[in-house]
């Protein structure tokens, strides 16, 4: 632990996982309610997932987005069919996906000759990641400390459970708005309807 950055209080030393459970080095089992902070709903060591990873690793472990792969092409086509959207951008994390969404929204309007449409509207208490753009959309002042100034052009509106939230969201969208970013289930701030 001496060489890990103290970004979290890590009081458990985990040894393995199986299904919905984690086990520490002393053999104590824990129901995994955290699921990798909501990014691993697959559980741990499911045989089908392990087999898929084994097969994938026999081809390659990672290929840069500089190149195309059959698996990448097939997944992009499937996502396009399911969403009705033309293009797919793959990212390694939710933070990277949010950062890319912010950049793409701003680039879209800049390319249309509307560079003043750069504002991103987010919801109070939402968490969008720890890169500078995603952090600027995140309403967690303790995460902002030491990283300022953050990029400009971000507005926050009340959560859905707060009085007048939907009216505030509608009112916040204006001529400078490029996008609205939502954390649909607010894991960092608790779960709200």
Q: pTM here?
A: 0.83
The DSSP symbol for 147 reads S
Q: Is 113 left (phi over 0), alpha (psi -120 to 50) or beta?
A: left
Q: Are 155 and 99 in contact (CB under 8 A)?
A: no
User: Whole-angstrom Cα distance, residue 16 to residue 144?
Assistant: 33
Q: Is the peptide bond before 149 cis (omega within 30 degrees of 0)?
A: yes
Query: What is the per-residue pLDDT across 158-190, written as a single tens digit (0 to 9) for each?
Result: 877 667 788 888 999 999 999 999 987 777 766
**Where are the domains positioned within the chain?**
1-60, 62-91, 94-181
CATH architecture group of domain 1-60: Alpha-Beta Complex (3.90)
Query: What is the per-residue pLDDT across 73-93, written as a single tens digit (0 to 9) for each?
Result: 999 999 999 999 999 999 988
Query: What is the per-residue pLDDT across 18-65, written as a single tens digit (0 to 9) for each?
Result: 999 999 999 999 999 888 777 778 899 999 999 999 999 999 988 888
pLDDT of residue 3: 87
């Amino acid at each position: 632990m001496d060489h890990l950055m103290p970004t979290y209080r890590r009081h458990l030393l985990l040894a393995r996982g199986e299904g919905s459970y984690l086990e520490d080095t002393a053999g104590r089992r824990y129901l995994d309610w955290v699921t990798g902070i909501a990014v691993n709903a697959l559980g741990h060591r499911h045989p089908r997932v392990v087999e898929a990873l084994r097969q994938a690793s026999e081809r390659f472990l990672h290929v840069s987005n500089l190149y195309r792969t059959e698996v990448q092409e097939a997944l992009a086509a499937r996502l396009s069919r399911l969403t009705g959207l033309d293009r797919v951008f793959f990212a390694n994390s939710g933070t990277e996906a949010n950062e890319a969404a912010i950049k793409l929204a701003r680039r879209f309007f800049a390319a249309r000759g509307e560079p003043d449409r750069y504002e991103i509207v987010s919801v109070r208490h939402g968490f969008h990641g720890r890169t500078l753009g995603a952090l600027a959309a995140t309403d967690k002042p303790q995460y902002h400390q030491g990283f300022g100034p953050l990029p400009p052009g971000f507005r926050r509106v009340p959560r859905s459970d707060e009085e007048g939230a939907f009216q505030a969201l509608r009112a916040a969208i204006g001529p400078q708005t490029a996008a609205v970013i939502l954390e649909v289930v607010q894991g960092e701030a608790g779960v709200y309807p």
